[in-house]
């Protein structure tokens, strides 16, 4: 919940002014009120736009919600299952599954966020929690739809806390995710699906995280509000 239409467009223009490398896919996900202005700001660049959230229904009496039909003219991606949505707004695995299906039906790409709480990790349940979240999100998809999706491992305990999973922890969790995709949809889908790490990613830690085998990118939080920091992460990728 940062930046309005004007501020978001200005930040997007600052990002693309950094002459980002062409071999990295970059997606900016502003609040819904800024999607149009940010999409306009980056339309002459290779940078794409995503939504932070959608409802699974295409239309109807859902005051305050936003549908895929409202964003698909401007957005290519949608974040779904972010830990803040799960924690603060009661988003369940079933909700996530319905949203992922709707996103694909609209021809958009879901960025499916999964991850465990600190209590779950301390109780040695991280593997089970992550596997269950991934299975639920992709079991209704085809192997090709799954391969075209993005899955982001974001440990809840590392969101907005300044704490970051160690490269070893991140790589292990990404491995669990890829193994789960393979079990559900086969090795081809597991090889093709893009798996990111998210959770207090900064220019200082991104190279070590992104250098780990199997980690295909980053879901950037607070550092994305600073164009210079965000551009540095893109260059590291």
Tell me the per-residue pLDDT of 58-114, one tens digit each, with 9 for 90 and over: 999 999 999 999 999 999 999 999 999 999 999 999 999 999 999 999 999 999 999
91 sits in the region (left: phi over 0; alpha: psi -120 to 50; else beta) called: beta
| Residue-range definition of the domain harbouring residue 87 | 5-236
Kindly provide the residue ranges of all beta strands, DSSP E only, lying in the chain, ordered along the sequence. Answer: 27-28, 48-51, 77-80, 109-114, 150-153, 194-198, 217-219
Tell me the mean pLDDT in the region 176-182. 98
Report the CATH number at residue 58.
3.20.20.70
Q: What is the pLDDT of residue 165?
A: 86
Q: For residue 196, give the 3-state DSSP assignment.
A: strand
Tokens in use for 178? 């890829």
Q: Measuring CA to CA, which residue among 200, 121, 122 is closest to residue 161?
A: 200
pLDDT over 80 (residue 164): no
In the residue annotation, 53 being an active-site residue is answered as: no
Q: Measuring CA to CA, which residue among 164, 79, 152 is closest to residue 114?
A: 152
Catalytic residue among 53, 82, 104, 185: 82
Mean pLDDT score across all residues of the chain:
96
Q: What is the pLDDT of residue 33?
A: 97
User: Pick the residue with more confidence: 199 or 172?
Assistant: 172
Instruction: Give 201-230 pLDDT, tens digit per residue.
Output: 999 999 999 999 999 999 999 999 999 999
Catalytic residue among 104, 116, 154, 185: 154
pLDDT over 90 (residue 158): no
Tokens in use for 78? 């949608």
CB half-sphere exposure, 44, CA atoms < 13 A: 5
Tokens in use for 8? 């978001």
Residues contacting 128, CB < 8 A, separation 6+: none
The answer to whether 209 and 218 have CB atoms below 8 angstroms apart is yes
Q: Measuring CA to CA, which residue among 195, 179, 177, 175 is closest to residue 187?
A: 179
Q: What is the pLDDT of residue 134?
A: 98
Q: What is the pLDDT of residue 199?
A: 87
Neighbours of 122 (CB within 10 A): 11
Tokens in use for 47? 């940078």
Instruction: Give 5-50 pLDDT, tens digit per residue.
Output: 999 999 999 999 998 999 999 999 999 999 999 999 999 999 999 9
In the residue annotation, 65 being an active-site residue is answered as: no
pLDDT over 90 (residue 234): yes
Number of domains within the chain = 1
pLDDT over 90 (residue 172): yes
Tokens in use for 98? 């319905």
**pTM listed for this prediction:** 0.96
Q: What is the pLDDT of residue 110?
A: 98
Q: Measuring CA to CA, which residue among 231, 232, 131 is closest to residue 181?
A: 131
């Amino acid at each position: 919940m940062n930046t309005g239409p004007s501020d978001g467009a200005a930040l997007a223009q600052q990002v693309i002014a950094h002459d980002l490398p062409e071999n990295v896919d970059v997606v900016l996900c502003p609040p819904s009120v800024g999607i149009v202005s940010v999409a306009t700001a980056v339309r002459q660049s290779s940078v794409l736009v995503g939504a932070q959230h959608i409802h699974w229904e295409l239309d109807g009496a859902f005051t305050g919600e936003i549908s895929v039909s409202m964003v698909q003219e401007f957005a290519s991606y949608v974040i779904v299952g972010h830990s803040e949505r799960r924690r603060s707004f009661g988003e369940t695995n079933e909700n996530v599954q319905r949203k992922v299906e709707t996103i694909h039906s609209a021809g958009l790409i879901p960025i499916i966020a999964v991850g465990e709480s600190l209590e779950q990790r301390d109780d040695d349940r991280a593997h089970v929690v992550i596997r269950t979240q991934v299975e639920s999100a992709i079991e209704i998809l085809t192997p090709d739809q799954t391969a075209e999706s993005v899955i982001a491992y974001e440990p809840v305990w590392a969101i907005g806390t300044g704490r970051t999973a160690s490269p070893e922890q991140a790589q292990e969790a990404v491995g669990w995710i890829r193994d789960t995709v393979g079990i559900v949809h086969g090795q081809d889908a597991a090889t093709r699906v893009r798996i990111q790490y998210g959770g207090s990613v900064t220019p200082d830690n991104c190279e070590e995280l992104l250098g780990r085998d199997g980690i295909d990118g980053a879901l950037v939080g607070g550092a994305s509000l600073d164009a210079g920091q965000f551009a540095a992460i893109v260059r590291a990728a």
